[in-house]
Chains A and B, each alone.
Chain A
């Protein structure tokens, strides 16, 4: 059947990878969160439509998975089919060093073995037998060491190589991949053995577009070797606290760079000056770098810059007038800087801003007046600021706002009226003690809300009646202690909920579990510190999607939950007590 069988191989999302997790499975590092979560919170999506009829192809794949030990070789199969079987075995964790043997010489293109248990040197022979067909290889988190990489010499067409968290690989291993000149993406996160000397091996990788050396503490001085990799579009050296201003110099000619992440390094304003030629740079992450407002002189000439993270830097009001030069920015993070209302006046002209983070800055109501013109703002982070009710009036005209965080501010019930017209709002965080039932009354018009955080707010049963119309809520947290079973009655019909946190309401009983048993979309449930007992657990049996269940400080033991798990909650993977 030859060519007719071949389908296009799954395209990798390779755009420029600021939030690409090769196989989307591992998340050992959350430090690029500021980008991924800028616009939308990562939502646990649930499949709730009717079970789809499995295709014959899927049924065959599953059947092979069940009988895998009987197969000697898949090398006679068309490549896309052996690839599909391989992926299925990895997904179901049925692949072992023994069954791997059946994939020898299968001309597979993608081997995503990131964080797969047991991967070591012994796997490399079969991996290398894919030869010139192999395009993507993910060995992150494996025990593969330097000699193992010798095997990759035959895989001359390899484009994507992921060696994150491979702590047995050092400079010597790098040498073995120096000839893989077709590599487009190479990632080496958290490797303490790689040094500047070893990085010489990278100089021949002339087609490299993406290089990720996050948390490699020994690479100071090594960037000189990537000076000639002019195709590079994305470079991450964040959390490499060895990186200094001198390391910026070799980057000055990498004019194709679109994304540069140097957070938590020692780079200062002087180092930033080396970047002024990077006319294609659109993402720059300087979180935690000791830079000041002086760097805005350089940043203002970066005409493509759209995303700028300056949180936890050394910014103060001094020199902040230069912020006004960054008129192209769409996303600006100024969180955790010592800036005040006086700084916000200079944001007035940044009318392209869609996301602004002022977390823990010294700003108050008077500063917000300067935001009224930022009509494109979708996401505003004001957590831990001095903003109060009087400031919210300046936000009432920002009708594109989709997400506001007002946690730990001094906003009180009276101010929430100002938000009632923001009908685009999807996410609202009101985790603050002074918010009460009365405040919720102002939110009933916000029917588009999907996330509502009332963690510490003092919500009682009567307040929950205002939630009844918020039918789109997927995530709800009410943990102020004032809720009883009677209030849960108003929550039980919010059928879109996938996350529900009602912990710290010590009067909730098994009756609550009974009432929420119809919320079959729930993925995460927390009713800790309540009067829930093991007898109530049976009500949770219909919650087939539940993955996380937390019932700390209840009359429930880990064994009770395990029984529930085996009795019909196969998706439950996290639970407490455990």
Chain B
């Protein structure tokens, strides 16, 4: 399976296994973003649950193609808020054509 880890304008597609723990995922992210695992927080988007390091993905109902938000520890030691940039409104140019596509 894979999950989509999102922060700001970036989405990381991470291949993983339901038996892997949150910490395993953070270690994979570490190699990509150079942030120590302790400075990462992962939040399952469809429930808002913060994922716990020792638990497996399966335990926390993280399924294939799930979207997980990544937040990082700020200078004040607190974690930043979830910040995922939404893509430009894709339909802007075609909103008059309602119903049909």
Do A and B contact each other directly (Cβ–Cβ < 8 Å)?
Answer: yes
- List residues 40-78 of chain A with CB under 8 A from any CB of chain B: 70-72
B90 CB to nearest A CB, Å: 16
Question: Which A residues lie within 8 Å of B99 (CB)?
Answer: 70
Question: Which B residues lie within 8 Å of A70 (CB)?
Answer: 99-101
Question: Which B residues lie within 8 Å of A72 (CB)?
Answer: 100
- List residues 410-438 of chain A with CB under 8 A from any CB of chain B: none
Q: Which residue of B lies closest to A73 (CB)?
A: B100
CA distance in complex: A70, B99 (Å): 8
CA distance in complex: A70, B98 (Å): 11
| Residue interface mask B39-80, A partner, CB < 8 A = 1 | 000000000000000000000000000000000000000000
CA distance in complex: A71, B100 (Å): 6
Question: Which A residues lie within 8 Å of B101 (CB)?
Answer: 70-71
Q: Which residue of A lies closest to B101 (CB)?
A: A70
Question: Which A residues lie within 8 Å of B100 (CB)?
Answer: 70-72
A15 CB to nearest B CB, Å: 42
CA distance in complex: A72, B99 (Å): 10
Q: Which residue of A lies closest to B97 (CB)?
A: A72
Q: Is the interface of A mostly helix, strand, loop or mixed?
A: loop
CA distance in complex: A72, B97 (Å): 10
Q: Which residue of B lies closest to A72 (CB)?
A: B100
A71 CB to nearest B CB, Å: 7
CA distance in complex: A70, B100 (Å): 6
CA distance in complex: A319, B101 (Å): 74
Q: Which residue of B lies closest to A69 (CB)?
A: B100
CA distance in complex: A70, B101 (Å): 7
CA distance in complex: A71, B101 (Å): 6
CA distance in complex: A310, B99 (Å): 64
B78 CB to nearest A CB, Å: 42
B13 CB to nearest A CB, Å: 16
| Residue interface mask B78-101, A partner, CB < 8 A = 1 | 000000000000000000000111
Q: Which residue of B lies closest to A70 (CB)?
A: B100
A67 CB to nearest B CB, Å: 9
B27 CB to nearest A CB, Å: 30
Q: Which residue of A lies closest to B100 (CB)?
A: A72
Question: Which B residues lie within 8 Å of A71 (CB)?
Answer: 100-101
CA distance in complex: A288, B38 (Å): 90
CA distance in complex: A186, B58 (Å): 64
CA distance in complex: A72, B101 (Å): 7
Q: Which residue of A lies closest to B99 (CB)?
A: A70
B96 CB to nearest A CB, Å: 13
A279 CB to nearest B CB, Å: 59
Q: Which residue of B lies closest to A64 (CB)?
A: B101
Q: Which residue of B lies closest to A67 (CB)?
A: B101
CA distance in complex: A221, B101 (Å): 55
A284 CB to nearest B CB, Å: 56
CA distance in complex: A470, B101 (Å): 56
CA distance in complex: A426, B100 (Å): 56
CA distance in complex: A145, B89 (Å): 50
| Residue interface mask B13-28, A partner, CB < 8 A = 1 | 0000000000000000
B95 CB to nearest A CB, Å: 15
| Residue interface mask A531-552, B partner, CB < 8 A = 1 | 0000000000000000000000
CA distance in complex: A72, B100 (Å): 7
A38 CB to nearest B CB, Å: 51
CA distance in complex: A476, B101 (Å): 52
A98 CB to nearest B CB, Å: 13
A75 CB to nearest B CB, Å: 13
A560 CB to nearest B CB, Å: 42
B91 CB to nearest A CB, Å: 15
CA distance in complex: A104, B44 (Å): 47
A68 CB to nearest B CB, Å: 12
B62 CB to nearest A CB, Å: 25
B97 CB to nearest A CB, Å: 8
- List residues 71-95 of chain A with CB under 8 A from any CB of chain B: 71-72
Chain A to chain B contacts (Cβ below 8 Å), 5 pairs = A70-B99, A70-B100, A70-B101, A71-B100, A71-B101
Q: Which residues of A contact B (CB under 8 A)?
A: 70-72
Q: Which residues of B contact A (CB under 8 A)?
A: 99-101
- A-B pairs, top 6 by smallest CB distance, nearest first, are A72-B100, A70-B100, A70-B101, A71-B100, A71-B101, A70-B99
